[in-house]
């Protein structure tokens, strides 16, 4: 089992980014995780169907934090982490070790174990593999989202997160690297670009077409009320291009 469970965005300020995501996509916050404070960050988790959007922001931009350095490197708010749920995190820890991929941070919260991989070794962005003990169903418990995340699910506008888009000046090489790490083959999608198909979503690898370099550039969302999303984005003065809305430095494609 390997499914997309959470996407993390990084912002210079938490509240404005969360407010925009909530207002435009019709989402609600389920949890603020105090554990991220040890990294000099604050965060918010917003359920999106059975998955989650997380936003993190440095508590102090003057401090030398990983999140702050990433903001500087990519020129502002944007995609930060792709977080996958698996049922064999120890096997994956062994695999990445054999590939020479460093574990930047190991997570262990009793019922939840994870490995955050070093972005210099993975390319693209930080990649995380996590395992929940017990119920591992698609709508099961998820430690980072707190104990009552289902109470915050809102599906009037946005119903699911079905793809993440990684941009690179060599998308084929990046896809091949992630394929080795995840032990999932690369396929060619309908748009002719490399893809890795997970149990519930797709990782798509595209040419970097902006000046931000390699990173997590976009998400595909299944939506129930496209018109309301576009109207809210326009009212906030956000960039809108057809079925694409830019929020927190990230391209959200509405399907």
Please answer whether residues 166 and 233 qualify as being in contact, where contact means their C-beta atoms are separated by less than 8 angstroms: no
Give residue 66's pLDDT.
Answer: 80
Q: Is residue 61's pLDDT more than 80? A: no
CATH class of 158-254: alpha beta
DSSP state of 212: S
Round to whole Å and give the CA distance between 206 and 194.
Answer: 7
φ, ψ for residue 231 (rounded to 5)?
-65, -40
Which pTM was predicted?
A: 0.96
Round to whole Å and give the CA distance between 238 and 160.
Answer: 21
- Residue ranges covered by each domain of the chain: 2-152, 158-254
Give residue 78's pLDDT.
Answer: 96
Q: Is residue 31's pLDDT more than 90? A: yes
Stretch 143-155: mean pLDDT: 97
The larger pLDDT score, comparing residue 69 to residue 125, is at: 125
Give residue 135's pLDDT.
Answer: 95
* Residue % of the chain over a pLDDT of 90: 90
Give residue 71's pLDDT.
Answer: 86
Contacts of residue 232, defined as CB under 8 A and 6 or more positions apart, other chains included, come to: 23, 24
Structure tokens at 174: 């990046």
Condensed to tens digits (0 to 9), the pLDDT of residues 178-197 reads: 999 999 999 998 889 999 99
Q: Which helix (H) or strand (E) holds 169?
A: none
Q: 2-152, superfamily in CATH?
A: 2,3-Dihydroxybiphenyl 1,2-Dioxygenase, domain 1 (3.10.180.10)
Stretch 70-90: mean pLDDT: 93
- Averaged pLDDT score across all residues of the chain: 96
């Amino acid at each position: 089992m390997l499914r997309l469970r959470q996407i993390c965005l990084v912002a210079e300020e938490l509240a404005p980014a969360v407010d925009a995501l909530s207002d435009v996509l019709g989402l609600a916050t389920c949890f603020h995780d105090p554990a991220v404070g040890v990294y000099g960050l604050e965060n918010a988790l917003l359920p999106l169907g059975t998955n989650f959007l997380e936003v993190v922001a440095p508590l102090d931009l003057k401090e030398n934090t990983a999140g702050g350095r990433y903001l500087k490197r990519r020129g502002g708010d944007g995609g930060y982490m792709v977080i996958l749920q698996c049922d064999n995190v120890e096997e994956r820890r062994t695999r990445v070790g054999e590939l020479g991929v460093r574990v930047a941070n190991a997570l262990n919260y009793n019922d939840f174990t994870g490995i955050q991989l070093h972005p210099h070794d993975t390319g693209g962005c930080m990649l995380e593999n996590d395992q929940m003990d017990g119920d591992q169903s698609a709508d099961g418990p998820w430690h980072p989202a707190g104990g009552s995340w289902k109470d915050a699910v809102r599906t009037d506008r946005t119903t699911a997160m079905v793809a993440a888009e990684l941009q690179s000046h060599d998308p084929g090489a990046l896809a091949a690297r992630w394929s080795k790490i995840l032990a999932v083959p690369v396929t060619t999608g309908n748009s002719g670009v490399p893809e890795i198909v997970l149990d519930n979503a797709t990782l798509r690898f595209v040419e970097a077409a902006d000046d931000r370099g390699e990173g997590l550039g976009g998400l595909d969302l299944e939506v129930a009320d496209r018109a309301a999303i576009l109207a809210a984005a326009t009212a906030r003065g956000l960039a809108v291009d057809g079925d694409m809305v830019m929020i927190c430095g990230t391209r959200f494609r509405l399907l």
